[in-house]
Amino acid sequence: MGAEVYPDIVRLLAPILAALDVSILVYFVAINAAYVTLVGCATGELIVHILRIRGESRARILGSAVTPSISILAPAYNEEATIAESVTALLALHYANLELVVINDGSPDRTLEVLQQRFDLVPIHSIVWKRIETKPVRGLYRSRSHPNLLVVDKVNGGKADALNVGLNLATGDLVCVIDADTIVDADALQRLARPFLSHHDVLAAGGTIRIANGSKIASGRVTEPGAPRDFVAGVQVVEYFRAFIFGRLGWNRLGGNLIISGAFGLFRRDAMIAAGGYTHDTASSSSPTRWRGPSAPTRCACSGASATAGIVGSPTCSGATGACSSIRATGSWASGATRTSSSSSCWRPSSSCSDGSGSRWGSRPGCWMPPSRRSSSSSPTASVRC
Amino acid sequence: MKQTWLYLVSYYLVYLELALIVLITLALTISAALARWRTARHERLSAAGREILARAVAESHEDAAAVAAFARLPWTVQQELMHEFGGSLTGSGRAQLARLGGRAGVARRAERMAASRWWWERLAGARVLTALDLDCAVMRRLLRDRSATVRSQAYVWAAGRVDEAVIDELVSRLADPERLCRFTVQDSLLRLGRPAARALARFLENPAHPGLADALSVARGLAQPELLGPALALAHHDRADVRARAAAVLGVLGGDAAVETLEVQLADPVPTVRAAAARALGDVGAWMSSSALRRLLGDPNWLVRRESALALRRMGGMGLLTLRRALQDGNPFAADMARQVLDLPEAVCQRATA
């Protein structure tokens, strides 16, 4: 009927609509092909990983005198209710050469007092080797009952600043950055340290984060994994699974991994310090951690364009975090990922590369991904976080 | 209205998608049910196998029926149980496990796998043979395997072999290009202990070797007197990392010659070497060197000041006295560091220098 009334308009619109149809079809075919490729890569990576670790004894890593030492950096702000349990759980992680640096980021509540009472802290003269500029440190405390615990009290400056203070004070070969609300498997550090033992060019490794809602938790450990009954939290379980297993592992294979989750990650300390630590402009405390750029540390490490520096996602090493049950904020990860991609870590001019050829991290949009062997940057496009 | 080809494709695509969704749902349901059944079966068989192995190890003998029952278990279950028991047994228990594994055909199959052309099969075979602690020719060949993962597993196996040829091979692999292999070699040599010291000393006598730094890390862990000579020589090596690690070795070995060399190293132009030398003097407990360490409290490098202060603290009476005097030092850096280290609880101080 319409075609009879407006024949000219229909004749004019028909090819445009057909072209639009084709474009949409092509777009979806392309994006699904990309997803299928990513799934294929993730599957390949997972299979190889399983074949490598099947029957492997991690006791070797636990009991060896040559495993690298690890410093855990745990920033805390207003966490008087949970800090004692969190610190106890971290101190009980199964790793031989472990140091825990708790940074009280100017909490107005009783976080510091709780720590002092629970862990028998004594103040020590507060001088700090300031390799990274930070807000002032008010005090340093050592525990008489736990020699590997160091507590720092500092003026509030945000998570990045707290982590930078931790970096200044840490003494381990590797630093583990962890959110206070992340629950970690007891042997997670042994698994996460594995990539550093396997390849000399690994700068950072991230664990697989899962949602703890619905699981049974006792003494800071997940004793019985379970699924949440709530719909929104359930959706997040799938989303985390997609992001960590399918996304990051797939990018690992393709050499495009750029992000280590702020909830749980392990980094080479010398590389972090050489890179200048954390920047202060990350989207939020729960957004993916941004590191000022892997180009600086590799300047020390590689002598030519062929050297690779990798960021690794570990598929079997898991931490768990809580998800909220209502949609309050969306896109925090997405904005974090966008910032990460568009900021200095990826867009830094290539003059900072070791060989000066600019072959590793170019400044052109088309070549912003480092040609590392392993990596991951597929953060969710929209995410729900408490 | 005339249907275009695009309309037709879209029309049938809907049906195709619906069919795909139904098929995928069906496949997921079936695979979930299968996985559940498989897990239950695996657990049942594992429990049965575990009982057979536990009885055989406890009674120090295995009857034919038990061996036959174990041999009937699926290969994956046999493998898992071998890893589980092999990792926690030593001595006669492990020998008994190896006997049972041999009689049940596990060892033969593992050897066959270790000779496979596929790296994952070689790795799986090597892991079973390591769990059984069996000395066989195929494992010696794997010490030079082309796959780093397999090679690394062979080095794990070698940690249980006090055999000169194997130890020499291990030591030569300290310069392996793969990080994983170098780590495993270091660990295996440390586990071998004293028998590895002579081969390591020979390795350290060549100052041009690329694996010197890693070898010195092992030497520090072994702390055997035959390593003193090479460590003294390497304390003057061109590379700073080698000099620093040689200092660490001298720190655990001690003696007049070591202290003398370490005091010379305190004036090294590289801060990490000075710090390592200070730390080593603390390890030795060389109180005669306290005045030299006191001077280093004013070093421009933080690490050197810190290690010197910790070394003095560990020396006991003389070192503590030196640190207390440093509190009045005109150099505020020296005074600050002395104050911080004196504030440290004893347990922290011991750990920091361990």
Q: Percentage of chain B surpassing pLDDT 90? A: 68
Average pLDDT value for residue range B280-300: 90
Tell me if A64 and B347 make a contact (CB, 8 A cut-off).
no
Higher pLDDT, A2 or A246: A246
Backbone torsions φ then ψ of B157, nearest 5 degrees: -60, -40
* SS3 assignment, position A218: strand
Reference A380, options A258, A247, A197; nearest CA is A247
Q: Helices (H), strands (E): how many in chain B?
A: 21, 0
Tens digit of each residue's pLDDT (9 = 90 or more) over A94-105: 898 899 999 999
Question: Which residues are registered as beta bridge partners of A178?
Answer: A264
Tell me, what's the pLDDT at A4? 64
Higher pLDDT, B108 or B8: B108
Is pLDDT at A58 greater than 60 in this prediction? yes
Average pLDDT value for residue range A18-30: 93
CB interface of A with B, residues 112-151, below 8 Å? 122-127, 129, 140, 142-144, 147-148
Tell me if B120 and A51 make a contact (CB, 8 A cut-off).
yes
Is pLDDT at A322 greater than 70 in this prediction? no
B73 and B97 Cβ atoms separated by less than 8 Å: no
Q: Which long-range contacts (CB under 8 A, 24 or more apart) does B320-325 make?
A: B322/B290, B322/B291, B322/B293, B322/B294, B325/B294
* Lowest-confidence region among A209-223, B39-53, B209-223, B303-317: A209-223
Token representation of residue B23? 């098929």
Of the ranges A252-256, A291-295, A297-301, A325-329, which is most confident?
A: A252-256
Average pLDDT value for residue range B70-92: 90
Reference B285, options B313, B260, B266, B265; nearest CA is B313
What letter represents residue A346's amino acid? C
Tell me, what's the pLDDT at A186? 86
Tens digit of each residue's pLDDT (9 = 90 or more) over B185-218: 999 999 999 999 999 999 999 888 888 999 999 9
Interface residue A200 vs chain B (CB under 8 A): yes
Q: Counting every residue, how long is chain B? A: 354
* Lowest-confidence region among A292-306, B149-163, B182-196, B319-333: A292-306
Q: Which long-range contacts (CB under 8 A, 24 or more apart) does B167-172 make?
A: B167/B192, B167/B195, B167/B196, B167/B199, B168/B199, B169/B140, B169/B143, B169/B144, B170/B143, B170/B196, B170/B199, B171/B196, B171/B199, B171/B200, B171/B202, B171/B203, B171/B215, B172/B203
* Lowest-confidence region among A35-44, A246-255, A300-309: A300-309
Which residues of chain B neighbour A187 with C-beta distances below 8 Å?
none
Higher pLDDT, A356 or B119: B119
Tell me, what's the pLDDT at A258? 76
Tell me if A199 and B180 make a contact (CB, 8 A cut-off).
yes
Q: Counting every residue, how long is chain A? A: 386
* Lowest-confidence region among A76-80, A193-197, A200-204, A290-294: A290-294
Which residues of chain A neighbour B149 with C-beta distances below 8 Å?
52
Tell me, what's the pLDDT at B82? 93
Tell me, what's the pLDDT at B348? 80
Average pLDDT value for residue range B175-187: 91
Cα-Cα-Cα-Cα dihedral sign, residues B282, B287, B289, B293:
positive
In angstroms, the CA B56 to CA B99 distance is 10
Higher pLDDT, B336 or A361: B336
ipTM: 0.83
- Mean of per-residue pLDDT scores for chain B: 90
- Mean of per-residue pLDDT scores for chain A: 74
Element containing residue B310 per DSSP (H, E): helix B302-314
DSSP 8-state symbol, B4: P
Question: Which residues are registered as beta bridge partners of A102?
Answer: A74, A151
What DSSP assignment string belongs to A277-340?
A: SB-S--S-TTSPB-BS-THHHHHHH-SSTT---EEEEEEEEEEEE---SS---B-HHHHHHHHH
Of B124, B190, B351, the CB nearest to A148: B351
Is pLDDT at B234 greater than 50 in this prediction? yes
Tokens 């583990």, residue located: A176
A3 falls in which pLDDT band (50, 70, 90)? low
Which residues of chain A neighbour B336 with C-beta distances below 8 Å?
125, 127
* Lowest-confidence region among A369-383, B10-24, B106-120: A369-383
Which residues of chain B neighbour A21 with C-beta distances below 8 Å?
6, 10
Of A22, A60, A200, the CB nearest to B179: A200
Tell me, what's the pLDDT at B262? 94
* Lowest-confidence region among A312-316, A341-345, B276-280, B332-336: A341-345
Tell me if A147 and B149 make a contact (CB, 8 A cut-off).
no
Tell me, what's the pLDDT at A356? 33
* Lowest-confidence region among A218-227, A320-329, B91-100, B261-270: A320-329
Reference B307, options B327, B284, B282, B326; nearest CA is B282
Cα-Cα-Cα-Cα dihedral sign, residues B249, B251, B254, B258:
positive
DSSP 8-state symbol, A248: I
DSSP 8-state symbol, A245: I
* SS3 assignment, position A385: coil
Tell me if B221 and A3 make a contact (CB, 8 A cut-off).
no
Which residues of chain A neighbour B16 with C-beta distances below 8 Å?
none
In angstroms, the CA A303 to CA A357 distance is 11
A318 and A192 Cβ atoms separated by less than 8 Å: no
* SS3 assignment, position A182: coil
Is pLDDT at B45 greater than 80 in this prediction? yes
Tell me, what's the pLDDT at A236? 87
Tell me, what's the pLDDT at B264? 94
Token representation of residue A182? 């992340």
What DSSP assignment string belongs to A48-84?
A: HHHHHHTT--THHHHH-TTSPPEEEEEEESS-TTTHH
Q: If you count residue pairs, one on A and one on B, with CB atoms under 8 Å apart, how many are there?
A: 83
Tell me, what's the pLDDT at B91? 84
A340 and A346 Cβ atoms separated by less than 8 Å: yes
Reference A147, options A91, A104, A90, A65; nearest CA is A91
Higher pLDDT, B200 or B91: B200
Tell me if A198 and B217 make a contact (CB, 8 A cut-off).
no
Is pLDDT at B98 greater than 60 in this prediction? yes
CA A228 distance to own-chain centroid: 23
